[in-house]
């Protein structure tokens, strides 16, 4: 069964909605590392440092995952519908890639990892 058609505008808007999440996670990772509290007790300090590092790593991972997902949504939106200006000049080649003639642009079908 072929996949259901998806509105490319919805994909683009979802990818754009990830922007504030990525920015917030990036800023949060920087903010959590900015103050460096010193507790005096070595074991307590080590535990606190470990928790702060884990939190910063988690926030960085949220940012990276959001960026990756936004990129995948952008590729999916491009593959759902080509650009209107280049649509008249596109030619389908034997590998399933869309190559625009002239100086428009070239887009390939998504690799297996992007599905």
In a domain, 77, yes or no: yes
Structural domain contains residue 72: yes
Tell which phi-psi region holds residue 102, choosing left (phi > 0), alpha (psi between -120 and 50) or beta.
left
- Local structure of 98: helix, strand or coil: strand
Host H or E run for residue 99: strand 98-100
Show the domain range for 38. 8-83
Q: What is the pLDDT of residues 7-55, one digit of tens each?
A: 889 999 999 999 999 999 999 999 999 987 788 889 999 999 999 999 9
Tell me whether residue 114 is in a domain. no
The total number of structural domains in the chain stands at 1
Nearest C-alpha neighbor of 72 from the set 13, 15, 6: 15
* pTM, entire model: 0.60
């Amino acid at each position: 069964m072929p996949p259901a058609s998806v509105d490319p505008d919805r994909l683009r808007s979802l990818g754009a909605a990830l922007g504030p999440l990525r920015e917030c996670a990036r800023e949060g990772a920087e903010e959590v590392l900015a103050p460096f509290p010193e507790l005096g007790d070595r074991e307590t300090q080590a535990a606190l440092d470990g928790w702060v590092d884990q939190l910063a790593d988690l926030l960085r991972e949220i940012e990276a995952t959001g960026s990756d997902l936004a990129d995948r949504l952008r590729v999916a939106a491009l593959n759902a519908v080509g650009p209107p200006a280049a649509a008249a000049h596109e030619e389908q080649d034997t590998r399933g890639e869309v190559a625009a003639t002239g100086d428009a642009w070239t887009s390939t079908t998504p690799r297996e990892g992007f599905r």
